[in-house]
Structure 1
Amino acid sequence: MVPAVPTTALPAPPSPAGARAASTAPAPAPALAWHPSPVDVAFVRDVSRVEHARRIGGAWLRNVCRMRVARVESAEVVISELCTNAVVHGHGDSVGFRLRHVGGQVRIEVNDHSPSAVPEPVHVGWEMESGRGLWLVDTLIDELGGRWGFTVDGAVAWCVFPIAQIAPLASYESCVPGPESRGHDLGSKSRRR
């Protein structure tokens, strides 16, 4: 005997006794709200794990959220930069990585578990080999039509952007953290003018 396994599938509606399938149209399926499964992982604070986070994020955005490829590629670079910053500048043993889909918006959080001063994007000289990460994040989030920032304690970098190309600014409010964790919203270049 096969043990019963709980499932989220709805049971089939009972068919009326003696009804002929050809004479009646099938009943419409009940409307269910679709909510993509969130991603909530932690990885060892090691630079080799950044590529894993990037692949997880990219696959989730493409396959679960059905985001267009060009937008996914930009989001993957954002994920890489935020995770790299957490690995390089964090002091905890692990890095938390969260992905959420709320009302047509994607929210990404990277937690380095290391409270610190909130970093700002900087422009570095062409001869420098590093230091462009947050500037790149700022540019890409602007292109994605989103916002980004850090919590007050500087431990969590977050960004919010629409799955589709354009979304009204008011819709971001449902994804922005509450006042107790809002921190610094670095926004985007077009919104800071």
Structure 2
Amino acid sequence: MTTTDLLPPRAFTLRLTSTPRGARLARRLASHQLHAWGYPYGTPVNDAVTLVTAELAANAVRHGRVPGRDFLLRLTEGEAGVLRVEVSDTRGERLPALSAPCFDGESGRGLLLVEALADAWGVEPRKGAPGKTVWALFSASSGR
């Protein structure tokens, strides 16, 4: 058993504007929170979780935006060192799907990065509100 196994679950939740600035803040604040939890800047875990957070937040802004509605970022660390990123938006009818990006396109690669970096990811209806939550899991015990 490691000291990570003894930590109680931790959570960080923040509502952000559905704008490019909100997506940038989600990325920066996720990295900062991970650092505060003991996953230093520049480590594989911090880098992977931060990149996935950035992609999910950008997708929420680009594809899940409803004017006047924010998106929700939630990071949790479970007892077994499992990190979970959740990004919730209010567009439940627009579900993410993996697809091959256009070779010379400027977008369309975000979910491929999520698929490559996360141990698992998925989408579920948003609890207690309209919309959806896209989540990703990371086993952080080996990257601390």
- TM-score category, normalised to shorter length: 0.7 to 0.9
Asked whether the 8 Å contact 1:118–1:152 carries over to 2, the reply is no
Write the mapping of 1:5-44 to structure 2, written as runs, cut at 5 A.
34-35=7-8, 37-44=10-17
Q: Note if 1:165 corresponds to 2:138.
A: no
Q: Note if 1:83 corresponds to 2:57.
A: yes
Q: Distance in 2 between matches of 1:86 and 1:95?
A: 7
Write the mapping of 1:71-150 to structure 2, written as runs, cut at 5 A.
71-92=45-66, 93-103=69-79, 104-141=81-118, 146-150=119-123
Instruction: Give the deviation of 1:77 after TM superposition.
Output: 0.9
CA-to-partner distance for each residue in 1:110-139, whole Å, 9 max, x for gaps? 001211143211111321111111111111
Q: Distance in 2 between matches of 1:90 and 1:117?
A: 7
CA-to-partner distance for each residue in 1:34-67, whole Å, 9 max, x for gaps? 3364111101110111111111111111221436
Q: Distance in 2 between matches of 1:133 and 1:83?
A: 10
Q: From the two aligned structures, give the one with the greater strand fraction.
A: 2
CA RMSD of aligned residues (A): 2.0
Question: Runs of 5+ in structure 1 lacking a partner?
Answer: 1-32, 167-193
Instruction: Give the deviation of 1:164 after TM superposition.
Output: 2.1
Q: Distance in 1 between matches of 2:142 and 2:99?
A: 27
Match of 1:69 among 28, 35, 43: 43
TM-score, normalised with respect to structure 2: 0.80
Q: Distance in 2 between matches of 1:124 and 1:162?
A: 28
Please give the secondary structure, in 2, of the residue aligned with 1:149.
strand
Report the count of equivalent residues.
130
Write the mapping of 1:181-192 to structure 2, written as runs, cut at 5 A.
none
Alignment partner, residue 187 of structure 1: none
Structure number with the bigger relative contact order (C-alpha 8 A, sep ≥ 6) is 2
Moved over 4 A (4+): none
TM-score, normalised with respect to structure 1: 0.61
